[in-house]
Amino acid sequence: MKEEVRRKAGMRNVITLGVVSFLNDVSTEMVRPMLPTFVINVLRGTTANWGLIEGVSEFLSYVLRIPSGILSDMLRKRKPLALLGYGISTITKPFLALSTKWTHVLLLKSVDRVGKGIRTAPRDAMIAESVKGEKAGRAFGIHRTLDQAGAVMGPFIAFMLFPMLGYRNLFIASFIPGLLALLVLSLLAVEVAPQKVIGRREIINIVRNKVLLLYVIISAVFACSLYSFSYVLIYANAILGIPDRYLNLVFIVLNIAHVIIGIPMGILADKIGIGNGLGITCLLLSLTSFFMIKNPLGGLSGALMTGVLYGLFQGGYEALSRAAIPVLVTSEAKGSAYALLSLAIATGTAIANILMGFLWQRYGYNIALYYSLSLSTICAIIMPLIVKRPKG
């Protein structure tokens, strides 16, 4: 890849892709915090049904990053796949308004996550190729901050509009910001791809990278403890008794915390090492689970604090888990490396969400959270031992 192209793209490309994610997240997060209660309270589904929806849809989201990432390497084109993925998600969400059974939500949410799976690895590779490795933490921190600013705005819009629109019309309205995201991506984002054609040999070398493989394995194990944010909302609603409308407030503070932590955590990780930063984020998930089990506050304040803790974890982990790739991978086949990481996280999150739903319904929320707490704490110890600062 020509250095001049990288230099011109640079942080401008990172910010442009962040704006795309901002607009797309406004669309997505107008819908997502309402879906668990829509399924359980309106469509009369169960917690186990929701666990299946989360498990299947998130599995598809991650596993489809594999062919998408590899294809973007081989074609040396990231932007068309990113456009396709964002387009699928934008078109799908309004059709949730037609759902009459929880299985309809399963289908539509899965298609929406297919779009996410197609776009994520190429987009992340565009970010990684736009900056040099030593700035990766900051770049992904900036991107995640802009992304999560949309995740704050989306629930706030939903909170304001839900009393007037209800579930179904709110789902339809989510189309507008999604369309704006597509326009920004198509008009402003710069294609930044490897100059060298990536073939089988380069992709095989990615698989032979022992440090990368260790990171992928521990990421898969950690993902088995990684319940989705929807369990925070179910917890607030079913355990703490928070009404449906006010769940958006929980989601708003969750995403504000996500926004606040992104850039500082990225800068900190660039200084202390991505591995140490990842260890801290794993501990934040453990702390969240422990707080949910003990929750000394209760009520709305307890729900809001839970949202803050989960948001701090999520914002830090999503930035640093991706920032680790340009640290561990020196070749230009970063799309394939992201694809391999996605396979690991896909498997782990599918197990986590389905198992959490089962444990929650069968044995209670405490047992489900103790399971996550134990596993995430172990991973917090191991992660810094695997992902170490590059020498020099």
- Report pLDDT digits (tens) over 5-25: 555 567 788 889 999 999 999
Q: How many CB atoms lie within 10 A of CB 144?
A: 29
The per-residue DSSP string of 164-197 comes to HHHHHHHHHHTHHHHHHHHHHHHHHPPP---SSP
- Domain annotation covers residue 117: yes
Do 145 and 311 touch, CB atoms closer than 8 A? no
Give residue 270's pLDDT.
Answer: 78
- Domain annotation covers residue 391: no
> What are the structure tokens assigned to 66, written together?
């594999």
What is d(CA 386, CA 275) in angstroms, rounded to the nearest whole number?
A: 7
- Domain annotation covers residue 392: no
Residue 219 maps to which CATH number? 1.20.1250.20
Give residue 178's pLDDT.
Answer: 94
Give residue 133's pLDDT.
Answer: 55
Report which DSSP code applies to 240. S
- Domain annotation covers residue 77: yes
- Domain annotation covers residue 232: yes
Provide the number of structural domains found in the chain. 1
Q: Can you list the residues of the chain whose pLDDT is less than 50?
A: 1-2, 391-392
> What are the structure tokens assigned to 33, written together?
């915090």
List the domain range (segments joined by +) for residue 363: 3-386
Direct distance between the N- and C-terminal alpha carbons of the chain, in angstroms, rounded to an integer = 23
Give residue 204's pLDDT.
Answer: 62
Write the burial class of residue 267 (CB in 10 Å: 0-12 exposed, 13-18 middle, 19+ buried): middle
What is d(CA 284, CA 290) in angstroms, rounded to the nearest whole number?
A: 10
Give residue 68's pLDDT.
Answer: 84
Do 291 and 240 touch, CB atoms closer than 8 A? no
- Domain annotation covers residue 279: yes
Torsion, Cα of 260, 314, 79, 9 (10° steps) = 40
- Domain annotation covers residue 100: yes
Buried b (16+ CB within 10 A) or exposed e, 83-93: bebbbbbbbbb
- Domain annotation covers residue 11: yes
Closest CA to 228 of 317, 123, 97: 317
